[in-house]
Homo-oligomer: A and B are copies of this chain.
Amino acid sequence: MSSIKYLDEWSVEESFFDPNHLGKYEAIMAQGNGYLGIRNVHEEEYPHEQRNTFISGIFNRFSESEVSELANFPDVTMFEIRIDGELFSLLKGENSNYSRNFNYQTGESYRSFIWSDNLGRKLHFEFRKFVSMYDKHLIMTKVKIKNLGIAVNLSVSSGIDGTKTNSGSQHFEEGDKRYFDNQFLYLHTTTTVSKIPVAIASCLKSSSGVKSRPVMARRKMQEVNSFEMNTGEIFSTTKYSMMRTERDLEYSGDNYLVDDLISSLKTVTQEDYTIHLEKSAQAWAKIWNQKAISIDSEDFLDQLLLNFARYHIHVMSPIHDDRLNIGAKGMSGEGYKGHTFWDTEIFILPYFSYTFPEFAKNLVNYRMKGLSAAKKNAKINGYKGAQYPWESAWLSDGEVTPKWGDIDIITGEPTPILTGEIEHHVTADVIYGIADYLLATQDAEVDEKLFEVVMEAAKFWCSRSTYNREKDHYEILDVIGPDEYKEHVNNNAYTNYLAKFTLDRAIDEYNKKANSEMAVGFQKDIDVIREVARKIYLPQINEQGILPQDDTYLQKRKIDLTKYLNDDKVNTLFLDYNLEQVNNMQISKQADVLLLMLMFSNKFSLKAMRENWNYYYPKTLHDSSLSLSTHCNYALLISEEELAYQLFKKSFDIDLGSNNMASSDMGIHSASMGGIWQNVVRGFGGFALDKDGIVINPKLPAAWRSLIYTVVFRESTVKVCITRNNIKLKILNGAPIKVTIRGKEYHLGDCGLTVTI
C-alpha cells in the first residue's frame, strides 16, 4: 500500500511514516521561492535522506575533474531531538496518528504524530515548515512537543550544519562561526572555487523558561535546549533562518552579509511563525488568484496535478534575476546539478510567456546575457557564431555537461556522455523559445536584442553544416537529437528543421535591420546564412509517409518493447542492453520527430501527423520526462482525445504518482511541470496565437466539466472559461483583442464574450 494520499486539489499526504521513500517526499514536497530551494527532509535524520539547500546562482566547481553545480548549502533544517539522552527517530518505538501534509497553496508542510515506547514515554510531535514566498531569504520551522507520558529529559537542538555536501563533494569552506548577542548563530563562508561569500544566520525562539546554549563542532554549530519535561507539558520552538549571498541583486558590500543580516534576523524574530506564514501564503495567493487556472473534473487529481506543477514552477524558477535560469530538477535535488537545458525554452518558458511575461523576460534575458559565453563556446568547439551550452550554469561557466555517466553493463566502464559535445539543437531551441515569447509579448526591448543573438546562432548553424556537393545541399552530421538513444546520427530531422528555423529568422531580422548600423557587422555573414538556409537538407516524408528521424533510423533493427513499456521504472532497457546496442535499434527515448511535428504542426498534413504517430509512438519508451506532455498535445492534434487524456494522467506518475516511488529521488522533473501547463492550456484548453490575436479551440477531456484559465497576450490579461456548451472570455486588464474560436474571429472587448460551441 502506498503511503501517498491525495487529499484534495491542493494537498498530498504521507499517510504513514515511510522511511523507504524518503526521496519521494523530499522532492515532491520541496519548498522554495525561486531564490532558495530546500528538499523537504524530516527534521530528524534518517539514513538515505538527501538534505539539500540551494540558492539559485550559487554554483561551484569542486575541482577540475567535476563540473560547476548548484552547491548544497550548510543546512538549517535538521533538528536533533533527544529523549532521555537517546536520539529520537521514528524508526524506534511506536508511532500513531502519523500524518505529513503538504499544502501546495501555501507551501507549508505539517507533520504530526504521537510517539511512544514501552517505557511509558509518549509524546505528541508537530512540525511545521515553509520557505517564505514573501521574504525570499527566510526559512522557518516550528516544532511543538507535548508530553503525554512519563516525565522525560527532552533536548532539542538545531543550528547550522556545514558538513553537507553534494553527494560527497564539498563546495564550501568551513568559514567563520559566531554566536551573536547570545542568540544568533552565524556562519560566514565562501564557495571553494567560485569564491562567492555567503552568510547564514539562525535563531531558536523557544517556549519561555527554556534557555539554549551554543555548541560548536567542526563545520557545525547548534543551539541546545535541554530540560526536564513533566507529563502534560508543552514545549515549542520556532527556528528562524536566513541566508544571503554576494550574488544577491541587493548585495551592497560586506555589511549586507553580516550586520544587515543579523539585523534582518532580529526583525523577523519579532513576529511569530503564523504571521510569517500568512505573509508567505498571501504572496502565493497572488500567483493563484491573478492567474487562476481551474479544472472542474470528475477527478480532482487533474487540478492537483496542475497546482502541483505550477507550485513547483514558482519554487524552482529564479525569475527575480536575469542572470539565472531554471534547473532540470529545479532546486529539489542534486540531479542534473542545477543545470539549465533546452527544457526551459521548449517546455517551461511558455508558462511564463503566457502567464507571467514579466518573469519570462528574465529567463529570456538569461540567454541574451549568455551570448558572449555562447560565442566563446562555439570558438572552443571550432565553430563560428554562438553555440549555447547543452547544459548551462552560471553564465560564464560555459558548457557544464559532465563527461561520464552510468556504468556500461557490457564493458564495466562508465558510459561517456556525448550530449555536451554533439547535442546541438539547443542553439535553435533558444531562438524558438524567444520567438514564441516575442509572439506573446511583442517586447520591443527583447526584440531589439534578439538581432545579435539570432545572427550569431545562424552563424553557428552555418559553420555546423557540411556541404554535400553531390546532393548540392547542406547537412548536419554527427549529432544527437532529442532522442538521446541515437548518438552520432546525421541529419536528425528535429535538429535540421530547427536550424532552418533559426536561419530563416536571422534572415528576417537582418532584412528588418538591413539598413541599420547593427547590420553592418553581419554583412559578410548574411550571404552564407541565406545560402545555407536555402540549401539546408530538410528530411521529407518518405513513400511510406514517414519523416525519417535521421539518415539511418528507419533502417535499424526493430525489437519488441512491451517489457519496457510495461515497466514503471525508466531506463530499464539498460539492464539488458548498453547504449551502443540501443543505438542500433528503432527505439526512441522520447518524442523526436513527433516533437518537431507538434512544434511546426501547421507545416504537416493531418494524414502525415497520424502516420508518423503510428510509426514512432509505439517505438518510444518515454524514458525522458519531456516525452509525455509532447505526446499528449500531439494526440489532441490527431483527435486521439482519449489517449491524450490517458497520457496526461500518466504524467501524474512522473513525480506525484504512487507507481514509481523512486522517480523523484534526484529531484522533480522541471520540464514535466511546464508540460503539464502546456497540456492543460495549450492542449485541452486549445489556446494558441495567430499573428494578431489569440486562438481558442478547446478539446476538454470527457471527465472535465469545465476549464478556466488565465493567459496574458501582449498588454491584455484574459480569463477563459470553457464549458461543454460555451466559451466565456473576459479581459481582466488591458486592451481589447482579437480571438479566433473554431475558425471564427471575434472581438473581445470590455464586455467580455460568450461563444456557444
A residues engaging B (CB < 8 A)?
Answer: 19-20, 44-48, 62-63, 65-66, 85-87, 89, 91-92, 162-170, 173-182, 192, 213-221, 334, 406-407, 409, 412-414, 575
Contact = CB atoms under 8 A, between A and B. Distances in A.
A264 to B, nearest CB: 19
B163 A216 contact: no
A179 B408 CA distance: 9
B165 A170 contact: yes
Contact of A87 (B20, B163, B181, B216): B20
A407 B168 contact: no
A166 B215 CA distance: 19
Q: Which 4 A-B residue pairs are closest in the complex by CB-CB distance?
A: A163-B168, A91-B91, A179-B412, A216-B407
Contacts of A86: 19-20
Nearest to A46: B47
B170 A169 contact: yes
A46, A66, A218 interface centre (most CB from chain B within 10 Å): A218
A165 B19 CA distance: 24
A412 B169 CA distance: 30
28 contacts: A19-B87, A19-B92, A20-B87, A45-B47, A47-B47, A47-B89, A65-B175, A66-B174, A89-B91, A91-B92, A162-B168, A163-B167, A165-B168, A165-B170, A167-B220, A169-B170, A169-B174, A169-B219, A170-B170, A176-B414, A178-B413, A178-B414, A179-B413, A213-B409, A214-B407, A214-B412, A215-B407, A216-B407
Contacts of A214: 407, 409, 412
A413 B188 CA distance: 13
Contacts of A414: 176-178, 216
A737 B168 CA distance: 58
A169 B89 CA distance: 26
Nearest to A337: B218
A162 B169 CA distance: 9
A258 to B, nearest CB: 13
A75 to B, nearest CB: 10
Nearest to A85: B20
Contacts of A173: 63, 65-66
Contacts of A62: 170, 174
B163 A163 contact: no
Contacts of A162: 168
Contacts of A192: 63
A46 to B, nearest CB: 7
Contact of A216 (B164, B217, B218, B406): B406
Contacts of A213: 409, 575
A601 B334 CA distance: 63
Nearest to A184: B412
B165 A412 contact: no
A298 B85 CA distance: 35
A412 B184 CA distance: 9
A409 B192 CA distance: 29
A19, A169, A406, A409 interface centre (most CB from chain B within 10 Å): A169
Nearest to A162: B168
A211 to B, nearest CB: 13
Contacts of A575: 213
Nearest to A216: B407
A217 B167 contact: yes
Nearest to A88: B47
A80 to B, nearest CB: 8
Contacts of A216: 406-407, 414
A15 to B, nearest CB: 17
Contacts of A47: 44-47, 87, 89
A215 B407 CA distance: 7
Contacts of A181: 412
Contacts of A412: 178-182, 214
Contacts of A219: 167-169
Nearest to A86: B20
Contact of A407 (B92, B179, B334, B413): B179
A91 B176 CA distance: 36
A158 to B, nearest CB: 14
A213 B574 CA distance: 12
A179 B410 CA distance: 10
A169 B575 CA distance: 35
Contacts of A177: 407, 414
A48 B87 contact: yes
A87 B662 CA distance: 14
Contacts of A91: 89, 91-92
A218 to B, nearest CB: 4
A717 to B, nearest CB: 44
A34 B548 CA distance: 65
Contacts of A65: 173-175
A85 to B, nearest CB: 6
Given A47-B89, A85-B20, A412-B180, A168 B168 contact: no
Contact of A170 (B168, B180, B221): B168
Nearest to A193: B63
A499 B166 CA distance: 49
Contacts of A174: 62, 65-66, 168-169
